[in-house]
A = this chain, B = another copy of it.
Amino acid sequence: MFEVTARGRELQARLQEFMDQEIYPAEAQFAEHLADPDKRWTIPTFLEELKSKARALGLWNLFLPDARYGAGLCHLDFAHLAEIMGRCVFAAEVFNCSAPDSGNMEALVLHASDEQRERWLQPLLNGEIRSAIALAEPGVASSDPSNLMSTLSKRDEGYILHGRKWWVSGACDPRCSVLLVMALSHPEAPLHQRYSMLLVPQQTHGVKVTRALQTFGYDAAPFGHGEVEFDQVWLPEDSVLAAPGKAFEVAQSRLGSGRVHQAMALIGLAQRAFEAMLKRAADRVAFGRAIGQHGMTHQAIARSRCELEQARLLTHATASMLDRRGSRLAREHLAMVKIVVPQMACSVIDRAIQVHGGLGLSQDSFLANAYAVARAQRIADGPDEIHMTSLARLLS
């Protein structure tokens, strides 16, 4: 209801058409690809073909507000597109709008030098390579950044990076070529100047993706959440993004719009789960009536619809606020989105599973995987508790 522009509406229609004609029909193929242990960690050809098609149609880099590099849409316009893409786990990739590349590209647009842009931003914009972002570390509570221990030390003409990161989303993708890595460079400085953000080529000596982490039983192949070892990695001086000690600023710049994208994607996924619940409720009969005519199913449907619509309105409002007032004044709303959307998605998808019975838990349905994705969002990018605390502090 927040007013989308004419261009936004037109893109919605075209994106919707592409989803119907190209993406949904390819889902079975994707599932088949994943079911083959030998192919699981490779990229299916059809995915690259879909990317070419999407790019040819102008459905490309839609997330980028800077019109020199991307579609130049406002946040509210893109929010609607992100919901549509979010309905299928691999769709955003087809439009070169998938995390963490989207956030990384935004950071590069804002903070990279011309050489860095040339080397990394351009191929990312072209969808030729992919990237990852490495913030969290095993063995500590990463939600408190002062716990992060990977170090960056000056050496000769460059730096030595040493440490271990995990939940490095995208790191297992065979096309992943560069990692943004946050490391402790100025241990004596005040917290927000203590860390630097690095651009680390995946092929550097000493960089090793040791394994793919699972969420519940899912390994997110072929993209993966990697655990990555940085063993005395030498990096040239121009590996630092923005400037030494500026990691927080870089991370911050990925945040505002990124959070809205991710929230809308999750709303898209929850909406799809909700539609599956409605369909199942209408089709399946128990004790002489469609499940959808049982009172408790009414409740599951009604609550889900209410929660979905409210979360969607909240995220639209936040996108609109980003457009009109900027991320600083939208901080309260950004915190609310982070608190509300993942929990809503968990609730809605969980009810959809319940209405589906055993089917909903199994590999025959997208629901259990969708739940895992939603549940992870209550932890990734800071657990609920952190965001509730931030919000409460903003309010007092």
Q: How far is the CA of A215 from the CA of B313 in the complex (A)?
A: 33
What is the oligomeric copy number?
Answer: 4
**Would you call A25 an interface residue if the criterion is a C-beta within 8 Å of the partner chain's C-beta atoms?**
no
State whether the Cβ of A363 lies closer than 8 Å to any Cβ in chain B: yes
- Does the CB pair A218–B217 fall under 8 Å? yes
Is A361 touching B215 in the complex (CB atoms < 8 A)?
yes
Q: Name the contact of A292 in the complex, choosing from B147, B294, B339, B392 (C-beta under 8 A).
A: B392
How many interface residues does chain A have, given as a range? 35 or more
Q: Does A210 interact with chain B (Cβ within 8 Å)? A: no
Within 342-363 of A, Cβ neighbours of B (below 8 Å) are at 353-354, 357-363
**Within the complex, what minimum Cβ distance (angstroms) separates A387 from chain B?**
7
In the assembled complex, A8 has its CB within 8 A of some CB on chain B:
no
- Asked whether A302 lies within 8 Å of B358 as measured between CB atoms, the reply is no
With a cutoff of 8 Å between Cβ atoms, the chain B residues found around residue A396 in the complex are 278, 281-282, 292, 301
Residue of B nearest to A376 (CB): B361
With CB as the reference atom, state the residue of chain B lying closest to A294.
B295
Instruction: Identify which of A16-24, A135-143, A152-160, A262-270 touches chain B.
Output: A135-143
Q: A147-B285, A313-B314 are in contact. List 15 more A-B contacts (CB 8 A).
A: A3-B3, A37-B37, A141-B285, A214-B368, A216-B369, A216-B371, A295-B385, A297-B385, A298-B389, A301-B392, A301-B396, A305-B332, A305-B336, A306-B314, A354-B383
Q: Could you pull out 12 A-B pairs where Cβ atoms are within 8 angstroms? A: A1-B321, A2-B2, A136-B358, A143-B357, A144-B285, A147-B286, A213-B361, A215-B362, A292-B392, A360-B379, A361-B376, A361-B379
A interface with B by C-beta (< 8 Å): 1-3, 37, 136, 138, 140-144, 146-147, 166-167, 213-219, 278, 281-282, 284-287, 291-292, 294-299, 301-303, 305-306, 309-311, 313-314, 317, 320-321, 332-333, 335-336, 339-340, 353-354, 357-363, 368-369, 371-372, 375-376, 378-380, 383-385, 387-389, 391-393, 395-396
Q: Which 9 A-B pairs have the closest CB atoms?
A: A295-B295, A217-B217, A302-B388, A310-B310, A298-B392, A313-B313, A141-B286, A144-B286, A216-B216
